[in-house]
Structure 1
Amino acid sequence: MAFVLLEVLAELSERAEMAKKVDAFLPSMMKILEAGSEDEKLKIIVVFRNILGQLKKAKASSIAMMLVGKVLPLFDSECSQLRELSLLLFRDLLKAVLSRDEKKMRRNIQSALVPLLFRLNDHIPSVAKASREALFAAAELLKWKQLKHLLQRERMWELGECLLLRRSSRAEEYMHQSLPYLRDSQSSVRLAAVRFIRSATTHMRDQDLETQTDVLSALQPLETDRDISISSMAAHAGSILRAPRVRRRSSVILQMLCCWCR
């Protein structure tokens, strides 16, 4: 019965009248987006995407601010359709933000950059494309010209290093955020995570022993991964992490010089 009601709600959301009554449904829709089944979440995302363009700009921006944090966990859903639609909704939410809310939204989307980076490597082409569009919308909101340039030129292999050079103070945070992706079922995503962690190790300002232990423990199983690209890169990342700080800093300088010379 609940799913039938959601289907009716999805159909009604195509009508302009629904946008006027969104406040009545908003709390329930938020709860379903957090704790509902995959099918229920898909329906709610459809509803939000339908009504977003029908709302007044101020209302759309307000809902975008409330909703953006609820969407992030769905990027890594086992359901490819849910991954794709959540990424597209995220893109739509960023585009709906008014200038008055931009500063707060910029803070809110910082935690989305690493997941978006890894979803670019999703083996489902439509998911990878949706992630690219969402990351481009984030780059526009952040006024990050270099990131937009790399996306436009499809120089995807440089995006991780671009993020680390721009946000080197958050390298350790990004590294922790990357660890769950080392266990992703897709080898392409695992490889992207190992590559990013390998780069992040050279940007860490301080060598925190607890972080080092966590990362090395997470990398160890990948050193015997069936994909030789992953296993060799995991071994290399581990050796960099164990290396003295001086060697890591020289690696950063070399990477920066390479970027400036392009």
Structure 2
Amino acid sequence: MTEGQSYDAEAGAALLDMLVESEISTLKQVPRIVRCIHQWFMTNTDESVEHSLDNTLVELTDAHPHDVVVALLRCAPSCDRAAAAMWRMMVTTSMTTKKVFRELLCVLEDWPLHSTSTCDGDQQDVLALAATRALWEILQMPRFPRGLKVYFPRLLLALLFQVVYSTEQMPDEVDTFWRECQEEGGLPTSPSRFIVLTVKALLCRLGYRLVAFEVERKRGWDTLLHAETHHCAMGLLAREIRVVSRHLNASVVSYLVELLSRNEPRCELPAMAFLVEILASPGPNVRAESFLQLVPRYLQSTCSMTRSLLLKGLNVICDTPWMVPKMRFLVQRLTDLLQDADMDMVRMTLSVLRKVVRDPSVPISTPIALQLAERLQPLFDNESWYVRQLSVSIFKKVIERVANDGKKLLKTLVHQSLLPLIFHVFDENKAVAATCRDTLLQATAFLKKEKLRQVVLRDQQTEAIGECLLVECRSRAAEYLGQSLTYVQSPQDSIREAAVAFLGVLGQHMRAQPEKFRLIYHTVQHATKDSSPYVQRQALHTLPLLRAAAASGSSRSRLQELQSQLRQAWRRRRPSLWGNGWLCCWGSAQD
């Protein structure tokens, strides 16, 4: 077929056709035959002659799809005219189409090289980009290949990941190969742009032309071509796809979960971005339970963006009520995330936790309740109002749901929360203020501080609430002083005003402790120069009260000293005084 006159070549082709048909199962030289057929297509331009080996190629592909596909990718990686004709012939018949796409997928999913061997012992690697080039030629066919729809989800994702990988690394062999392809003309300057063209062609052939258009309109394809933003483009494409087909969504989720279960960190971020957006599609076919299996592993990822996407996915799953009980095993891991330095991560964690802990079917054990209470309190003062509200609302649920054996241990932490909650009742954000008031009522009920609870219910003045708090919890005055001094530095005017008002009440209770009283007085005095006129006014109103308390405390101290002296005198001279009838002095001393 490769030598001699055309008559001899045609005779050889006919003989080969007959031999393949009769001995196809025992053939050991399939790659050599494929190369021979490719050369036959190259040297014969007459259509009648060119197609004389079509049946041979189809029979060979049906019996040995792996060897045929790999051999053709090796002998014609740039997909010349002859190779394009062979690919089209191989996918036009129902018995070979699926087999060809399956073999192409194996190559497409490995970047940049697919390691394989054929029956002749050849172990030369195959370029994934060569398979993309072959797929591009198949997509140009006027007739729709039937097997394309079956493998569409995996083909789409394999191509998308190729774009991602090619933006991050371009090996020398790929670069050299692409320069050779460009010499044939008509191809983009970079492999990544060619792969994007192939993705668009695939979408259009499967009837998703509108998806490709929307992504183009939102500049998603350009975003995909940059390593820093490719995960954003993956998310955008997934959002456009998820409304198309529920069955397609389920297939994509299944494949992505399988992919992320492997140890392939290079596909971690784009795959997670795509998966999370697909999870947002409604319907039972979306395998959310499979996604939950990935959570313990990827919550420990070194990539903060991956962890963020994972939490976004959990938030989506939480919106399905029957899925929440299945997340109970994550409560401990989510609690640990509250110490993350990234506040966006903490915010998303709180959002998931709130949905989980409010479900009555999810138990909150004593150790977790204590950890949650301890880690939530520092978030009460977060600069984000949403974080403040979420942390306080979860704290309320912890108080409500803690097991009986943990109530005694939780009391100390609830006591520590009282004053912060009181101050945030005056939070500038109304939603936070309302949540804090509800939580404060729950905390006072938990601690059995009924008088304080009643004051909170009927009175919104800091002085009245603070006075009752100090009466109910007198032994914690020193602790309250430390907390108040922190809140005097709050960025919120209303909270600084409440802190100054409380210091006035606290100072009256601590007038017998000179050092602490002086600290309170100087703090209030400094507040008269506050940037807020409301804080200044509260400080000017509080100072006279502190002076009066100081004067009262001084007079009382002198009276107590006189009483002490009288007692000492009575003890020393009681017999003589008794004899002289000084009974009234004894009675006064005792009083």
Q: What residue is the counterpart of 2:487 in the other structure?
A: 181
Mapped partners of 2:418, 2:483: distance in 1 = 10
1:139 lines up with 2:447 in the alignment: no
Mapped partners of 1:113, 1:148: distance in 2 = 11
Contact residue 172 and residue 200 of structure 1 kept, 8 A: no
- The C-alpha deviation readout for 1:166-219, integer Å capped at 9, x for no partner, is 11222122111110111112221111101111111121275152x345434533
1:4 lines up with 2:4 in the alignment: no
Compared with structure 1, are the counterparts of its residues 59 and 90 closer, same or farther at alpha carbon in structure 2 (3 Å cutoff)? closer
Q: Which moved more, 1:152-161 or 1:178-187?
A: 152-161
Compared with structure 1, are the counterparts of its residues 154 and 72 closer, same or farther at alpha carbon in structure 2 (3 Å cutoff)? same
Contact residue 169 and residue 205 of structure 1 kept, 8 A: no
1:151 lines up with 2:459 in the alignment: no
Compared with structure 1, are the counterparts of its residues 241 and 4 closer, same or farther at alpha carbon in structure 2 (3 Å cutoff)? farther
Q: Which moved more, 1:4-13 or 1:179-188?
A: 4-13
Mapped partners of 2:472, 2:484: distance in 1 = 17
- The C-alpha deviation readout for 1:47-99, integer Å capped at 9, x for no partner, is 11111133657535542222101000111111111111111111111111122
Compared with structure 1, are the counterparts of its residues 4 and 240 closer, same or farther at alpha carbon in structure 2 (3 Å cutoff)? farther
Compared with structure 1, are the counterparts of its residues 240 and 43 closer, same or farther at alpha carbon in structure 2 (3 Å cutoff)? farther
Contact residue 84 and residue 127 of structure 1 kept, 8 A: yes
Mapped partners of 2:338, 2:548: distance in 1 = 40
Q: Find the partner of 1:196 among 502, 514, 521.
A: 502
Q: How does 1:38-117 map to 2 (within 5 A)?
A: 38-54=343-359, 56=361, 59-117=364-422
Q: Which moved more, 1:190-199 or 1:16-25?
A: 16-25
- The C-alpha deviation readout for 1:6-34, integer Å capped at 9, x for no partner, is 1012223445455445445623x233212
Structure 1 segments unaligned to the other structure (5+ residues):
250-262
SS at match of 2:427: coil
Shift of 1:104: 1.4
- The C-alpha deviation readout for 1:84-134, integer Å capped at 9, x for no partner, is 111111111111112222111112211111100100111111111010011
TM value normalised by structure 2: 0.39
Contact residue 338 and residue 346 of structure 2 kept, 8 A: yes
Mapped partners of 2:556, 2:429: distance in 1 = 35
Q: What residue is the counterpart of 2:553 in the other structure?
A: 245
Q: What residue is the counterpart of 1:256 in the other structure?
A: none
Compared with structure 1, are the counterparts of its residues 222 and 199 closer, same or farther at alpha carbon in structure 2 (3 Å cutoff)? same
Matched to 2:540, the amino acid is S
Contact residue 366 and residue 405 of structure 2 kept, 8 A: no
Contact residue 325 and residue 362 of structure 2 kept, 8 A: no
Percent identity between the two aligned chains = 27
Compared with structure 1, are the counterparts of its residues 207 and 72 closer, same or farther at alpha carbon in structure 2 (3 Å cutoff)? same
Compared with structure 1, are the counterparts of its residues 101 and 151 closer, same or farther at alpha carbon in structure 2 (3 Å cutoff)? same
Q: Find the partner of 1:230 among 535, 538, 545.
A: 538
Compared with structure 1, are the counterparts of its residues 83 and 180 closer, same or farther at alpha carbon in structure 2 (3 Å cutoff)? same
Q: What residue is the counterpart of 2:88 in the other structure?
A: none
SS at match of 1:121: coil
Contact residue 9 and residue 47 of structure 1 kept, 8 A: yes
Q: Find the partner of 1:129 among 417, 427, 434.
A: 434
Of Structure 1 and Structure 2, the greater helix share is in 1
Compared with structure 1, are the counterparts of its residues 87 and 18 closer, same or farther at alpha carbon in structure 2 (3 Å cutoff)? same
Equivalenced residues, count: 247
Q: What residue is the counterpart of 1:255 in the other structure?
A: none
Q: Which moved more, 1:214-223 or 1:164-173?
A: 214-223
Contact residue 427 and residue 492 of structure 2 kept, 8 A: yes
Q: What residue is the counterpart of 1:119 in the other structure?
A: 424
Mapped partners of 1:77, 1:36: distance in 2 = 12
Contact residue 122 and residue 189 of structure 1 kept, 8 A: yes
Mapped partners of 2:475, 2:556: distance in 1 = 15
Q: What residue is the counterpart of 1:258 in the other structure?
A: none
Compared with structure 1, are the counterparts of its residues 138 and 108 closer, same or farther at alpha carbon in structure 2 (3 Å cutoff)? same
Contact residue 411 and residue 447 of structure 2 kept, 8 A: yes
Matched to 2:446, the amino acid is L
Mapped partners of 2:549, 2:381: distance in 1 = 27
TM value normalised by structure 1: 0.82
The structure with more radius of gyration = 2
Structure 2 segments unaligned to the other structure (5+ residues):
1-304, 558-591
Q: How does 1:26-37 map to 2 (within 5 A)?
A: 26-27=332-333, 29-37=334-342
